[in-house]
A = this chain, B = another copy of it.
Amino acid sequence: MIIKINEYSDVPIYMQIRNQIVMGISSGELEAGEQLPTVRALSSEIGINTMTVSKAYQILKSEGYILTDRKNGARVRTEINQSKTLGSQNTEELKRIVSEARLSGISKEEFENIINEMWGN
């Protein structure tokens, strides 16, 4: 899986890494149990500080997306916690996006089509 960093984004680099790995797991590009590159490998590959990658991995671990051990490095967790809830921050973000979409003249049907495409099948 290829991680692409936008160094000029407002989103911190460690968060960009975290987000792309989460999206990779969700899309199936990263399978359950699959091994992630080592911190050192990934940081040299994308040309950033190891601390930054390490921070991304720590967040993914604390969120329950990956497991780490000294021997095997990091792996995608096979049983990700199914909270079945969006969480308050994502709910707030989603409300904001929905509001802006409505004001920009997008119809609910169009918005649902966007969601459908993103969801895959």
Chain A residues close to B by CB (< 8 Å) = 7-8, 19, 22-23, 25-27, 62, 65, 67-69, 71-72, 80-87, 90-91, 93-106, 108, 110-112, 114-116, 118-119
Contacts and interface: CB of A to CB of B under 8 A. Distances in A.
B23 A99 contact: yes
B98 A115 contact: yes
Nearest to A19: B96
A100 B7 contact: no
B80 A103 contact: yes
B115 A111 contact: yes
26 contacts: A7-B71, A8-B67, A8-B69, A22-B99, A22-B100, A22-B103, A23-B99, A25-B103, A26-B99, A26-B100, A27-B99, A82-B105, A83-B105, A84-B110, A86-B100, A86-B106, A86-B114, A90-B97, A91-B114, A93-B93, A93-B97, A94-B94, A94-B114, A94-B115, A108-B119, A111-B119
